[in-house]
Amino acid sequence: MRHRRLPFIAGFLVLPLTLYAVLVLSPYAQAFYLALTDWRGVSARAEFVGADNFARLLDDPQVLGALKNNAVMLLVVPIATVVLALFLAAALSLGRRRGAGVYRVVYFFPQLLSVAVVGVLFQFVYTPNSGLLNGVLNLLGIEGRSWLGDPSLALWAVMAVVVWSAVGFYVVLFCAAMESIPREILEAAAIDGASALTRLIRVVLPLVWENVQVAFIYLGMAALDGFAIVQIMTVGPGGPDNATEVLGLTLYRNAFTYGKFGYASALGVALFFLTLALAVLVLRGSRRDRVEMA
């Protein structure tokens, strides 16, 4: 009976596997090949240069500067987003607050806005003279700043927007995970004298750890990209003084401004392996014994 099913199953798999190979694997293969050439994007022929493009990446100050900014984002954005989302989710799910459903909708609202809308919105928020943020600070007697024009503040301003736009999704994700925890476990911990913070760290966090892992991976991928929000919000873009330059923006500029498609493909391949390495490190580094709930 099993052998009779194999042709039937294979028949259903042919079309989706073919589409996957053509639409997903083929572009990857083309990018890997172009990364080994000096293709300029306008010619059908390209000279094979081997690993020269990858060697140039290590000596390109713009790439190294972008990598530094991505590293800062990779350190700040996932941690800030996960910590804030866990706190808000715990307040909504474990505190039995009235109107929790309304708060979830409010927190999730930024997910309904496209990156372009978010970027333009916060351009107005950060406007030095008439922006909302400086207006509030002036009312409090605090001098406003040029948030996107100061090299020491621009990247932090962008990261704050990334956290704001992402945290709502993970609040909903963590709320769903926390509400699946049996109340008896939390009540037993409370009877044993555990404080709310202790219950969150010692009881809740291990039980939702797989969700936290997923959050770190996706947020890490967003931090390694950062192209769209930087492209829309910052001057230059990537400024001021390359303070917000990221790898995705460097890739875009090399391809569509300088016409170095081969070099840009090499940068894309490097970014692909950085993302893959990040996912592997997070999964292996944060691996722990699965906690089963009775």
Rounded to whole angstroms, the Cα distance separating 33 from 52 reads: 13
Number of domains making up the chain: 1
Mean pLDDT of 219-247: 92
Q: Which of 155, 166, 164 is nearest to 71 (CA)?
A: 155
pTM for the whole thing? 0.87
- Domain of 137 in residue numbering reads as 50-285
Mean pLDDT of 195-208: 86
pLDDT at 195: 83
Write down the mean pLDDT value for the chain.
88
The answer to whether 118 touches 161, Cβ cutoff 8 Å, is yes
Give a yes or no: residue 42 inside a domain.
no
Rounded to whole angstroms, the Cα distance separating 66 from 20 reads: 32
- What is the tens place of the pLDDT at every residue in 109-128? 888 889 999 999 999 999 98
Range from 231-235, 241-245, 289-293 carrying the lowest mean pLDDT: 289-293
- What is the tens place of the pLDDT at every residue in 243-282? 999 999 999 999 999 999 999 999 999 999 999 999 899 8
For residue 56, pLDDT beyond 90: yes
Domain of 251, CATH number, reads: 1.10.3720.10
Give a yes or no: residue 244 inside a domain.
yes
Residue type, 5: R
Give a yes or no: residue 198 inside a domain.
yes
Give a yes or no: residue 292 inside a domain.
no
Give a yes or no: residue 45 inside a domain.
no
Percent of residues, the chain, with pLDDT higher than 70: 94
For residue 98, pLDDT beyond 70: no
